[in-house]
Structure 1
Amino acid sequence: MRVIHRIAELRQALAGSSATAFVPTMGNLHAGHLALIERARKAGGPVVASIFVNRLQFAPHEDFDTYPRTLERDCELLRKVGCDFVFAPNEAELYPQRQVCTVHPPADLADILEGHFRPGFFIGVCTVVLKLFNCVQPRYAIFGKKDYQQLLVVRQMVRQLALPIEVIGAETARADDGLALSSRNGYLDEVQRAEAVYLSRELRAIDSAVRQGRSDWASLESAAMDALSARGWRPDYVAIRRRIDLGEPAAGDAVVVVAAARLGATRLIDNLELSAVS
């Protein structure tokens, strides 16, 4: 495995490849990231993982400065699962000037849910992802479904800009108790980690209710919010939306429930594609 820090060196290393598979990350890797690498290997070409903590997608009050930087450990993990190249630029390499050219995804998708509670987040995501796409020039890009809205936003950007990239959504990796794997799970203390599983349990409770024929979305959402609040969480949203664009569902739509809530100082997100619809 080769670790590369310069854009020019990366382009030279990948020159001539028509099947590069790319997994963008912010590092502090866990088993979910490694599953994305394993999915990327199925494409048959070189596999590239990027490690870059992107300042543009952090609000001033968020954890950019304290976000764990674990490059040496991350590279060792990537080596073990067959990654071919790690692109780990520093900030000056990726942003040699103040980034004033940015990508603004459409508000009807990007300014709801996560975008409502984290204004500007998807501008930062799209800007860095497009820049990384330009550096790597992949044929395939693999994103985890845990960040469901992010996956949809990136797919729309790729379609709108006619990028020759297939965006692949990989299933959410979970711990044995059902907690969605996330780099921010490391912020949880022992008691919080035991409690954290209740976010996924509330989503499964909604799925169970829908299986039984319920379609009173607002009531199901409110009940889940109340249940989390009663346990000491501070939920931002629990929302049942259309899978295709996170709009309000109508009868017959395939739907997903998405959620974000704070447990102590840690903000966790999760989602579940519902198995039955009205």
Structure 2
Amino acid sequence: MTQIIRALSEISDRYDVLYCDLWGCLHDGYSPFADAVEALREFKAKGGMVLLLTNSPRPRASVEKQLEKIGVPRDCWDSIASSGDSARAAMLRGMVGHKVWFIGQPHDQSFFAPMDVIEEQVEITQVPLEDAEGIVCTGPEDPTADPSEMRGKFLYAKQKNLKLLCANPDIVVDRGDTREWCAGALAQLYTEMGGESLYFGKPHAPIYELARMRLAQIGVDCPPERILAVGDGLKTDILGAQGEAIDSLFITGGLSRAETGTTDQPDPEKLAQTLADAQIEATYSIGFLR
């Protein structure tokens, strides 16, 4: 059974590294959460390392620029591992071919930039669907549109046996008070229609491999039992931690606020039912990161 805590400081001495999610934990897409920022600063002040582990489809440098724009201070984290970089590495190795049909928004074109850490990168060309060897999806062109609008194009893509590379496994995200669809919703639809979707973010293994690489780059070698994953996505952050055999802190006031009855803290009975329904275990739970 999960342990409900009131502050990260209650358990922080047990851990050397935090894998901290961004959206819903550290910011809402518009503004940082002041209490969360202070909690991370306190963790670092005690010698801990904070790795931001995000399902953002953007490269690390683009995520950093986005954080700066939102106002998340640079002194509350140490490094970033993004689903975007994990998926980019696979794309640049040719996993979905050389000619790809791109699904996403103009600001996600940085996804196609070369990566210094990948040797012998293939040349990627964006082409119309009818000429494609594979699909690269960073998210819907219109995040508020129903994913089912893609059924016609996906049927054609499935008939061509195209693989869909999903740069962000999240199904939805809350931008302020508005819920938006993510790349994971399109990948889920494509899979349900019989197509093949490839995932690289939480809860899948490649992003955790990238996280370990990022830690190694800053000289950190931490055993799994000293790592705590923090996030509001049950089927991404918490399930991923469970798969990696690391402890987790479930932020119930994010995506699962309604189900867990969270105002300041979750309702214990509703929280227990939410976890049971999902068949996922969270080591700890808290209303909001603080």
TM value normalised by structure 2: 0.35
Q: Greater relative contact order: 1 or 2 (C-alpha under 8 angstroms, separation 6 or more)?
A: 2
TM-score (normalised: structure 1): 0.36
